A and B are shown apart, each in its own frame.
Chain A
Amino acid sequence: MKKYALYPGCVMPTEQYAYEQSIREVLPFLDIELVDIKGFSCCGEPMKSVNQLMTLYLSARNLAIAEKQGLDLFVPCPICHLSLSECQRVMDNNVEMRDRVNGMLVTEGLKYEGTIGMFHTVDLLHDVIGVEEIKKHVKKPLDGLKVATHYGCHLIRPSEIGRPVDSENPQKMETVLKALGAEPLDYPEKLDCCGAMLSANLPESALTKTGQKLQKVQEHGFDVFVDVCPWCHRMFDSRQVKAGETVAAKLEVPVVYLTQLLGLTFGVDREKLGLNLNLSPVDKINLGGK
């Protein structure tokens, strides 16, 4: 049994419950225990346009809280994962900044030491658990299901900071999906952005980005669209109808979290995986049986 501290961030625990539900259902099958820790705050990334020092401080604060537990972090949100990774890089390489931030952390009795590692859903499944272990638990394989993957920009770039997957040809989700019996296929728009980071100031444009990508996915004839980011999922699933309006298309693309698909193949009840919360037409396809 491997133990990780869960860093939930903001969007997943306040809105994208299906991701959290499916994570909490699926990981115990794979011998992973998640520990809930009190006191975390926003990672700071959404504030990077406003005040980068605040972003750095908030990330360092969360890392310092996790360090107290002596556990590596499981960070299911790519936005948080990038923010925390970038913070580690700055704090480990820039002594002056590290001292300055630690000077502020003292108020809450915290100190950044740089002692812990960090995993996202994709590298936890692919690198730590491994497909052989995952295969052992598959009871209802996704025979021939044509899957389009979406990693999320913050998970794959910038590689300079060290990301869990390759920046130009990410394949780890595909490898996991093949182990579930699915048929993941590359498509030209695979690396396109969902636009979510524009939601704060240009919501219409953000939805247009989402609509453009989903329209292509629909035209390519995929059975299901799989993501691993609560921000992206909010665009592709929760706001799919509105996104369709921006490109004058009726979008009917089933969108699910990777962990929801895993749960279905493991035979977990649909409701326990939060599948009733997906607003896209996930009933359209027979995901792992009813």
Chain B
Amino acid sequence: MSIVDLTSMGESQVALRKEINERLSRLQDEISDYCFQCAKCTSGCEAHKLLELEPHKIVALLKRGLIDEMVNSDIIWTCMSCFKCRERCPQKVAPVEILFALKNMAVASGKQIPGKYTAMLQSILSIGLIQDVQSVMTRDSKTLKRDDLGLPEVSKPVDVAKFQMVLSKLAVEKV
């Protein structure tokens, strides 16, 4: 099974569609009615100035039922999870967590996972870490490895087969 199959749940698209729709409407119910569009989240949003993410608008659009549109939008992938919106919301709405949920849904619905996320996931599945030990450069352009620095061996899953078994199962489970 490839990574894409694992994350997109390649089979049974009809059941999947239904499941996702159910989850979408649940999300709509869960999104707090308490948001009164003060836009404090957007005023502090780290992704706002640079990438035009407007968390308060995302919340408003979701409440109007435009959930599919949000799941399929690239804008949800501009959040840099600084958690300022969650910290500062006077109504405890936490747009950052809503964005995580939307991104999870985009992945579960089979949308291509953007950027290096697939590579990171693959690496976790094979060695337990998002990347393997790297060689690094010193300021005077010498290449050094972890061993050269007298550091102990990196902590990784010992029984890799068992570790992979759980994780592969988890990758196809519903979030």
Contacts and interface: CB of A to CB of B under 8 A. Distances in A.
B1 interface: no
A276 B117 contact: no
Contacts of B84: 153, 157, 191, 193
A39 B155 CA distance: 6
B128 A36 contact: no
Contacts of A53: 170, 173-175
B15 interface: no
B80 interface: yes
Interface in A54-106: 54, 57-58, 104-105
A159 interface: yes
Contacts of B14: none
Interface centre among A50, A105, A159, A193 (most CB of B within 10 A): A50
A17 B124 CA distance: 20
A108 B163 contact: yes
B60 to A, nearest CB: 22
A193 B87 CA distance: 14
Contact of A50 (B82, B117, B142): B117
Interface stretch (A41-49, A111-119, A137-145, A173-181): A41-49
Given A51-B175, A159-B87, A160-B86, A36 B152 contact: yes
B159 A108 contact: yes
A54 B171 contact: yes
Interface in B117-139: 117, 120-121, 124, 128-134, 136-139
A4 interface: no
Nearest to B134: A15
A154 to B, nearest CB: 7
A185 interface: no
B54 interface: no
26 contacts: A14-B133, A15-B131, A15-B134, A17-B149, A41-B124, A41-B157, A42-B130, A47-B124, A51-B104, A51-B107, A51-B175, A54-B170, A153-B81, A153-B82, A153-B84, A154-B83, A160-B92, A192-B46, A193-B46, A197-B82, A201-B115, A202-B77, A202-B78, A205-B78, A209-B50, A279-B139
The 4 residue pairs across chains A and B that have the minimum distance between CB atoms: A201-B115, A41-B128, A157-B83, A193-B82
Given A200-B115, A202-B78, 20 more contacts: A13-B151, A15-B136, A17-B151, A40-B128, A47-B121, A48-B81, A51-B171, A54-B167, A153-B83, A157-B82, A157-B83, A157-B87, A160-B86, A192-B46, A193-B80, A193-B82, A193-B84, A195-B46, A197-B81, A201-B114
